[in-house]
Amino acid sequence: MPSVLPPELPDRFLVGHALDAGVTRRRLRHPSLAAPFYGVRSREQASDVVALACGYLPKLRAREYFSHATALVLAGGWAPDRLRAVLDVTAIPPTVRARGAGVRGHQSQEARVRFVGGMPVAEPAAAWCQTASLLTDRELVVAADSLLRRHDPVLTVDALEAEVGGRDGARGVRRLRRALALVEPRTDSVAETFLRLDAREAGLPLFEVNAEIRDAHGRFLAYGDLVHAPTKVVLEYDGQQHRLDDRQYARDVERLDDLAAAGWRVIRVNRSHRGPARRAILERVRSTLVARGWRAETSHMVGQRRRK
């Protein structure tokens, strides 16, 4: 059994502090302690970005804060998996940028910071703009949508527009403007956003996001993930909760019956629709739209955000 650590050491601590408290180097090398970063030990393995950031906190200097993709995730937004294993840390000059394994160091005069769980973190709108150097065009849209989501949104479209508007001439601002033209508030999942972008790139018409669907008598039937009201076509993304939650499944069956009775055609998409399968189902969507009267030449505002 490893010796008990001094009670004054927190869950995550610097090796130097532990040595000062009388802990031996042999104890600090014991596998019961994680080493998330050079010079840091933790009583637990980091399982997500929040835990990883907490693990780095003892090393964070006075003029540093979490930024870019890390700040997006700490705000409750989305970032791709490839960016989550490494922390974005920005230093305010004259502090030099952080270096070392597990850290993407940045340096900037920008210092609009708030505290999240005791950690200094870039404000969400600023963090989204910072990620223009890390994300693809599609990923920028997905990340913004995740901040503007229907339930517990972190930001408003106006806040993002104001942030981008204040960066005229800055690096990446053109990409931010292009992405901003495609974002949609009220999304429910990252998968929905990717589906919407795929439909746009396939030349399909503009779909309303999480729009109300009512019958001919005005009775509310459902919210549709992606709705094309002129042809009564709905695209629904079925996540795991639709398969694993019995109540959700029962509600889905009833909802689909109601929509069919009101003349709506529902096309369901799930995680298996990737690559060729995704292209095939988008062709099915196109055929369904055409059969219900849609013509590509009559479509307008394709790929442009419907202002709320």
Identify the residue whose tokens are 């901003």: 180
Q: What are phi and psi of 48, to 5 degrees?
A: -155, 180
| Whether residues 140 and 218 fall in one domain | no
Q: How confident is the model at residue 9 (pLDDT cuts 50, 70, 90)?
A: confident
> In this structure, is residue 6 part of a structural domain?
no
For residues 61-74, one letter each, b for 16 or more C-beta atoms within 10 angstroms of the residue's C-beta and e for the rest, the string is eeebbbbbbbbbbb
Looking at residue 260, its pLDDT comes to 93
> In this structure, is residue 273 part of a structural domain?
yes
Q: What percent of the chain has pLDDT over 70?
A: 93
Q: How confident is the model at residue 241 (pLDDT cuts 50, 70, 90)?
A: low
Looking at residue 297, its pLDDT comes to 66
- Residues 12, 59 contacting (CB under 8 angstroms): no
CATH of the domain at 223: 3.40.960.10
| Whether residues 66 and 172 fall in one domain | yes
Q: What percent of the chain has pLDDT over 90?
A: 69
Q: How confident is the model at residue 32 (pLDDT cuts 50, 70, 90)?
A: confident
> In this structure, is residue 103 part of a structural domain?
yes
- Burial of 90 per CB tally in 10 Å (0-12, 13-18, 19+): buried
> In this structure, is residue 90 part of a structural domain?
yes
127, 148, 180 - which closes a domain: 180
pLDDT (tens digit, 9 = 90+) per residue, 277-292? 999 999 999 999 999 9
pLDDT (tens digit, 9 = 90+) per residue, 148-183? 999 999 999 999 999 999 998 888 999 999 999 999
| Whether residues 197 and 264 fall in one domain | yes
Does the pLDDT value for residue 305 go beyond 80? no
Sequence-separated contacts (24+) of 276-284 with Cβ below 8 Å: 278/198, 279/202, 282/198, 282/199, 282/202, 282/204
Q: Which two tokens stand for residue 203?
A: 């030349």
* DSSP code at position 241: H
Alpha-carbon distance of 193 to 240, in angstroms, equals 16
Among positive and negative, which fits the CA dihedral 140, 142, 148, 153? negative
Q: How confident is the model at residue 302 (pLDDT cuts 50, 70, 90)?
A: very low
**Contacts with 251 (C-beta within 8 Å, 6 or more apart), sequence order:** none
pLDDT (tens digit, 9 = 90+) per residue, 51-107? 999 999 999 999 999 999 999 999 999 999 999 999 999 999 999 999 998 999 999
Looking at residue 43, its pLDDT comes to 83
Looking at residue 192, its pLDDT comes to 96
Average pLDDT over every residue of 23-28: 88
Does the pLDDT value for residue 133 go beyond 60? yes
Domain count, the chain: 3
Looking at residue 303, its pLDDT comes to 42
| Whether residues 217 and 273 fall in one domain | yes
| Whether residues 35 and 79 fall in one domain | no
Q: Which two tokens stand for residue 100?
A: 């070392």
Domain range holding 231?
190-298
180, 210, 232 - which closes a domain: 180
| Whether residues 171 and 208 fall in one domain | no
Looking at residue 306, its pLDDT comes to 46
| Whether residues 156 and 253 fall in one domain | no
> In this structure, is residue 50 part of a structural domain?
no
154, 180, 206 - which closes a domain: 180
Average pLDDT over every residue of 220-234: 96
Looking at residue 245, its pLDDT comes to 65
